[in-house]
Amino acid sequence: MTTSINTYNMTNGVMEPIALTLGQKFQIDKFSREIDNCQDVKQLCSIAKDLLIAWQQQQAACAWAIRQSQGL
């Protein structure tokens, strides 16, 4: 199974795709297969919570980096 990931970067008001590295694409495919093959609801809930935390940490890191670059 191939997972389609659409990520975009706003440049001059234009949405441009952000390219994932080949390694990132392999990681996505690997973990997508693991999730697809998982039959344990508790394990899936744990994975979902871990992903939610990672997502929010990534958003916080991006916001911090933007503030730092703007001298805020």
Distance CA 31, CA 5 (A): 13
Q: Give the start-to-end residue ranges of the domains of the chain.
A: 1-37, 41-72
| CA angle in degrees (0–180, nearest 5) for 22-28-34 | 140
Residue 57 token pair: 């940490």
The 3-state DSSP class for residue 17 equals strand
pLDDT in tens, 34-63: 999 999 999 999 999 999 999 999 999 999
Instruction: Say yes or no to pLDDT of 6 above 80.
Output: no
**Model pTM above 0.75:** no
Instruction: Say yes or no to pLDDT of 1 above 50.
Output: no
